C-alpha cells in the first residue's frame, strides 16, 4: 500500500462524495464539517476540492483530512437524505453511508 493510501496514524485514507440526487439540503454536513461540505445556491450540499471550489461532477470525491474524519463520518450517519458516501481511497469500498456493508 502506498504512502498516499495510509493516514499518519496507520489507518486507511478516506474520501467523501455526495449524491445530489438524494440531498435534502438540510445542511447538517456543513455544520459538522464546513471545511469539507458547503451548500451551493441550488440549496444542495457539495464537497470542496483544493482551493475551496465546490466539486459538482457526479460522484466527485475529495480526501477526508485526518483531523476531520470523525466530523465527516458523523455527517454521513446523521444525514437525513442518506446521500453522503465515505469510502476508502485504496479500493473505493464504502465504509460509511447508504452503501456501506
Give residue 47's Cα distance to chain centre: 6
pTM recorded for the entire structure = 0.87
**What is the domain partition of the chain in residue ranges?**
3-96
Q: What are the 10-residue block averages of pLDDT along the chain, 101 residues in total?
A: 44 93 96 97 95 93 96 97 97 95 78
**Which CATH class for the 3-96 domain?**
alpha beta
- Local structure of 50: helix, strand or coil: helix
Write the DSSP symbol of residue 38: E
Amino acid at each position: 500500500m502506498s504512502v498516499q493510501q495510509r493516514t499518519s496514524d496507520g489507518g486507511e485514507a478516506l474520501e467523501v462524495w455526495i449524491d445530489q440526487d438524494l440531498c435534502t439540503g438540510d445542511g447538517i454536513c456543513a455544520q459538522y464539517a464546513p471545511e469539507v461540505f458547503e451548500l451551493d445556491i441550488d440549496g444542495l450540499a457539495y464537497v470542496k476540492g483544493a482551493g475551496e471550489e465546490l466539486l459538482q461532477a457526479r460522484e466527485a470525491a475529495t480526501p477526508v483530512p485526518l483531523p476531520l474524519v470523525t466530523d465527516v463520518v458523523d455527517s454521513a450517519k446523521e444525514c437525513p437524505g442518506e446521500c453522503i458516501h465515505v469510502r476508502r481511497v485504496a479500493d473505493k469500498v464504502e465504509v460509511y453511508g447508504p452503501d456501506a456493508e
